Amino acid sequence: MSKVSEAIGKFKPVSIGFDHSVLSDDIKKALPYLKNAMDGITRIFLRQQSEALPQVYDEVMAGNDEEKKSFFKLFLGPWGQLENYKSLFDEFNDRPATCAFYPVDITKEEWEEALANASEEEKEQLLDTYTVIERENGKLKATPYHEYFKEELADIFDNLEAAADVVENEELKKYLYERAEGLVTGNYRDSDATWVRTKNVPIDPVIGPFEVYADDFMGIKATYEAFLMVVDHEKGNQLKEIEDNLPNISKHFPLPANSKAAVGGMAPMIVVNQIYAAGEARQGIMASAFNLPNDAWVRGEVGWKQIMIYNIMKAKFDTCTTVIAERVSNGTIHADFDPYFYFVLMHEVSHGLGPAYRADGTPVAKAIGKNYTAIEEAKADTGSLFTLVKLGGQYGIPSYGKNRVLDSFFAGLFRSMRFGVHEAHGAANVVEYNWLKEKGVIQVLPDGGFKTDATNLEEAAESLLYELCRIEAEATPDEAAAFLKKYAEPGRDILDALDRLTDIPIDICVEYEL
Ligand SMILES: [Zn+2]
């Protein structure tokens, strides 16, 4: 099998349909405009990865190499997402660490020098999340996204306005107008804030530059992405009680050494079914939950939204997670969707709990440095496991019993570790696995299979949560690294089990009906 077909084969096609009858006529009228706007976002995202990519993409789609077309559709480029964005085609180079956010041949020295010689204002522009860096007459200069992608954004603006014109829901209308305006003026903040405040909307379109994952050079430039989601208010209301009880739940998270939790406004949890995605959100592995916006001011002053994408989560669970659990346990461990759903939910909630600032005011992320993400992801997982086991039956958190929670959690461990045990999320899962194994909660059988024993689950989860919060509140970067060296190394048991999963899909390849 060629490496191209192998890469495609790791994603199982799943059709994501939805019941149009739940949508009112005005919304149905708005959908084609929203789809157009989002396709524009994909065009920008292609260009952000490489200036030449939009044209290359069109040539591939116009050609007759079906395998290549499938690959480009799935990964939005010639690069393997599970291969660190290496090109899987001889005729293309690997995706550069700079993408097209910076000149491809830029060096750290050139960047540092430009920052050192820049005025305060220029420096701010260079470091801005929403600027493209170009070299002009040997000097680096920053152009704001809304100018750099002016042409694409003008079309997106028109489509968002057209959608706003036809929708009747006032909140949605206001948000769409403001967002259209924000995208072409570069003022994202006001419409981000409006988005967080919108509550009673039938559909929830998220659109704009958000995450900085693709910037492997400095980690500061955001890529464009978009999600179109139908809101499930009934399921969302079930989560309202958890939301109202966040202060009570947060009391169970330790704040060692006078550290402080983040103080945000509301963090509404929204359950949705995704009906379309674009830009980075459409590339390869699908998100099943996210929280936005990232803007520190909006998060501090207004808050953020926790989005749980029910249909994507369920499709991934049925396609990958349950199959993995059955395989590694030789059919003895059965994962179950409801506890898994709440595990993912409480993971997102847990990111907002526990230490965010140290006693001296330093943000935890800054104090720990490069290992922060692995520690924080482990904290979010462990916080989730702990709250489900200890607080199930209170504060709106369902009570599933220790065994069901543990088995669904266990399935999730191996699902995540497959994405790479050295990447931050994978490493976090190795930490949790090793800790629980040390406490006898996970046991390795002589045949290489696994068994779970929930007897010590609560103490094991609690002790790990305390250790991770302690690291966040007071450990030096070296101490954090030493902890990961001890617990984030995958043993033979993990590696052998992962070897037995190679034929199970890594993720889903979503086919939208829209
Ligand atoms: Zn997380």
Percent over 70 (pLDDT), the chain: 99
Tell me how far the alpha carbon of residue 172 lies from the centroid of ligand 1, in angstroms: 28
Looking at residue 46, its pLDDT comes to 98
pLDDT reading at 99 higher than 80: yes
Tell me how far the alpha carbon of residue 213 lies from the centroid of ligand 1, in angstroms: 14
Counting Cα atoms < 13 Å in the Cβ hemisphere of 201 gives 26
Query: For 202, phi and psi rounded to 5 degrees?
Result: -75, -35
Looking at residue 240, its pLDDT comes to 86
CA distances from 238 to 233, 294, 320, 397, 402 (A): 9, 26, 26, 10, 21
> Which H, E and C letters describe 382-451, residue by residue?
HHHHHHHHHHCCCCCCCCCCHHHHHHHHHHHHHHHHCCCCCCHHHHHHHHHHHHHHHCCCEEECCCCCEE
Tell me how far the alpha carbon of residue 247 lies from the centroid of ligand 1, in angstroms: 20
Looking at residue 111, its pLDDT comes to 98
pLDDT reading at 503 higher than 80: yes
Q: How confident is residue 27, by pLDDT bands cut at 50, 70 and 90?
A: very high
Collect all residues with Cβ–Cβ distance below 8 Å to 421 and sequence separation of at least 6: 427, 429, 430, 488, 490, 494, 498
Tell me how far the alpha carbon of residue 20 lies from the centroid of ligand 1, in angstroms: 32
CA distances from 504 to 1, 275, 419, 470, 498 (A): 16, 25, 13, 37, 10
Q: How confident is residue 78, by pLDDT bands cut at 50, 70 and 90?
A: very high
Looking at residue 264, its pLDDT comes to 57
Mean pLDDT of the chain: 94
pLDDT reading at 298 higher than 80: yes
Looking at residue 263, its pLDDT comes to 66
Looking at residue 299, its pLDDT comes to 86
pLDDT reading at 265 higher than 70: no
Tell me how far the alpha carbon of residue 276 lies from the centroid of ligand 1, in angstroms: 23
Rounded to an integer, the average pLDDT of 91-110 is 97
Tell me how far the alpha carbon of residue 495 lies from the centroid of ligand 1, in angstroms: 23
pLDDT reading at 1 higher than 80: no
Tell me how far the alpha carbon of residue 56 lies from the centroid of ligand 1, in angstroms: 34
| Residue pointed to by tokens 């990958």 | 320
386-438 pLDDT tens trace: 999 999 999 999 999 999 999 999 999 998 898 888 888 899 999 999 999 99
pTM of the model: 0.86
Q: Omega into 293 within 30° of 0, i.e. cis?
A: yes
Looking at residue 306, its pLDDT comes to 86
Tell me how far the alpha carbon of residue 310 lies from the centroid of ligand 1, in angstroms: 17
Q: How confident is residue 291, by pLDDT bands cut at 50, 70 and 90?
A: confident
Looking at residue 20, its pLDDT comes to 80
Alpha carbons 504 and 500: distance in angstroms, whole number:
9
150-170 pLDDT tens trace: 999 999 999 999 999 999 999
CA distances from 393 to 353, 390, 398, 415, 438 (A): 20, 9, 5, 27, 28
Tell me how far the alpha carbon of residue 479 lies from the centroid of ligand 1, in angstroms: 22
CA distances from 51 to 96, 135, 369 (A): 12, 15, 32
Rounded to an integer, the average pLDDT of 466-493 is 96
pLDDT reading at 187 higher than 60: yes
Distance of CA 430 to the CA centre of its chain: 19
Percent over 90 (pLDDT), the chain: 84
pLDDT reading at 147 higher than 60: yes
Around ion ligand 1, which residues have CB less than 5 A away? Answer: 380
Tell me how far the alpha carbon of residue 292 lies from the centroid of ligand 1, in angstroms: 12
Tell me how far the alpha carbon of residue 333 lies from the centroid of ligand 1, in angstroms: 24
pLDDT reading at 122 higher than 70: yes
Largest CA distance in the chain: 68
Tell me how far the alpha carbon of residue 104 lies from the centroid of ligand 1, in angstroms: 31
Looking at residue 445, its pLDDT comes to 94
Looking at residue 368, its pLDDT comes to 93
Q: Contact, 289 vs 307, CB < 8 A?
A: yes
Tell me how far the alpha carbon of residue 379 lies from the centroid of ligand 1, in angstroms: 9
Tell me how far the alpha carbon of residue 225 lies from the centroid of ligand 1, in angstroms: 19
Tell me how far the alpha carbon of residue 236 lies from the centroid of ligand 1, in angstroms: 20
Tell me how far the alpha carbon of residue 415 lies from the centroid of ligand 1, in angstroms: 14
